Amino acid sequence: MAGRVSGPFCCRSSSLHGGKLYPVAQCNNVYVFPGVGLGVMVSRATRVTDNMMMAASRTLASCSPLVRDGRGPLLPSINDIRQVTQAIALDVALAAQRDGVAVNIPQETLQHNISSGFWEPQYLQYKRTSF
């Protein structure tokens, strides 16, 4: 079922990974969709193409510690979410341009717009007072 969290699975068929438990991670809402949305906005894409979604998936995969280092978790650390989201946004924007659904904007401008348009949380300090 899409969107349903499940427990870890055990890979029994592979001699390389046999018997090892792998946690199932959901990456769409945390990693993929924010980057896709930002990439669409900065590129002014008129629609989202399959190639744009593949670009997002490939970029996320390239950030995987397991893919990069051969060990570690499948998904990058949540501490790296800003960098991962910005990388996904850039690759989605470039894919939109290649697919002809976005205006041609220089890569440096796209990168600047992604960085400057990225939300930075700022929390105010509140002083509790009695009523």
33-91, pLDDT tens digit by residue?
A: 999 999 999 999 999 999 999 999 999 999 988 888 888 888 898 899 999 999 999 99
pLDDT of the residue at 92: 98
More confident residue, 83 or 6: 83
DSSP H/E element including 9: strand 9-11
Bridge partners, 21 (sequence order): 10
Could you tell me the pTM of the whole model?
Answer: 0.76
DSSP string, 19-49: TEEE-----IIIIIHHHHHHHHHHHT-SS--
Q: What is the pLDDT of residue 67?
A: 86
Q: In this structure, what token pair is assigned to residue 124?
A: 């105010």
